[in-house]
Structure 1
Amino acid sequence: MTLSATLTDVHRMTPDVKLFRLVVDGHTFEYEPGQHTTIHFESDGEEVTRPYTAIAQPGTNNLVLAIKRYDDGTASVYMHERSPGDEIELEPVDGNLHLRDPTRDAVFIATGTGITPLYPMLTQYARDGEGNARLVFGERDQEHLIFRESLEQLRASNATVSVEYVLSDAENDWGGRTGHVQDHLPGTLEPIEDPAAADAYVCGVPEMVVETQELLAEAGFDGDRIFTEGWESDAADG
């Protein structure tokens, strides 16, 4: 089943990421933060489907998607060429990536647009969580950090939420960590006192996801409590 949504707003977040607000009149989207919808459209006479995370909280008639444009992509280029008033076919929101247990400490590790499911999950944890939450977010440079202002607000208003960035192409004025997120594990996870009693959520380029999953297991995280998705670049758009 698909729904016909109207694109009502488009906002540029970073040089290559836009925010899209889609409204379905008379419908209420119910889902767990972190889950995704799937858009449908035709390209060269063939149907194309791609998953994108709903980044706003559920319970309304609209979805908000943050989509990075890949110049050699199909779906991302299609979406970046849409304008308010256009109709977009999409599926109800579903998926395996969502907060499992807000009573446990939680680690969130993302690279690039892998932050899109983890951001709403961290927002939910900041509201409902009973332990400590740690986000480690890897990007190319400061200009491309999606949701940075919102993440800083979450960190400032919640003593149990910590956020750290790792830049692979850092500018001279950057005083934080550099390289790749997996270079800094388990050191960046020090706020989590008992890894075996925590949940971990990892999303980004598949290579990072695999390496991070292994490093988390070595650091004492229960393999059954590590939830992953590798879906950036070719995994999500081609």
Structure 2
Amino acid sequence: MKATSRIQTPANSQVERYRRYCKKAEIIHHFAENLAQTLGVFHGINENGLKLAIEGEPVVALGTILFDQLQLMIIRICALCDKGSRDDDASLFELVAGLSDPDFQRFLITKEERWMQSVDRHRTGTIGAIPRYTKKMQIRWSSLQREQEALDRIKHYRNKVLAHATTGLDPGRKVLIKDIWRVSRLVLSVSKYVRLLLEREEWDYLKHSRDAREHGKALIQALHRDHRAQDSIG
């Protein structure tokens, strides 16, 4: 690997960099929100389905839905965590690295100072929040990187089952639901701070996931009531 000297990035290049990051962060946002919703619904259906012991024809459909949701979560986790090989690829890897760059952090702080001076002089604490949010993002990202074994299992499954039809699936590298649960929560936490830093918007993906969990539970409860009503009629 070649050593590179530190070069100050011109202000106009930082503006272009900011625009590029915002465009990619919007894609990340949609992927993260979809992951949050799918994760929540999956757990709501799975937990309440086991608790209420759903029987009959709905069980087959629910099994298919849960399996498909599991695969969708794997695809979204991989997309969010991959490094990407094209200029138009969007991933947390690139955004975390970019937002951690001191030059770009100074750009964000300067941008916020100008905004406060010209638009909202009463907004306080936001400039100091940028280093704080960056630190929290880096801590969550480091925690996510420590889940490398789980990420490797998830990516192996994506590569051998979802992205390509191969015979190379290693049964010893089976993806566990707890892998997806743990990694997803870290991915959503990192995504939260990326959005805070670039959009200044607090988007609580984990809360949305908890809300979706209740929606999944409600679906199972409705199926359970319907099944019991049909049994009583029969």
TM-score range, shorter chain: under 0.3
Q: TM-score, normalised by structure 2?
A: 0.24
Q: Which has the larger radius of gyration?
A: 2
Q: TM-score, normalised by structure 1?
A: 0.24
Higher strand share: 1
Higher helix share: 2
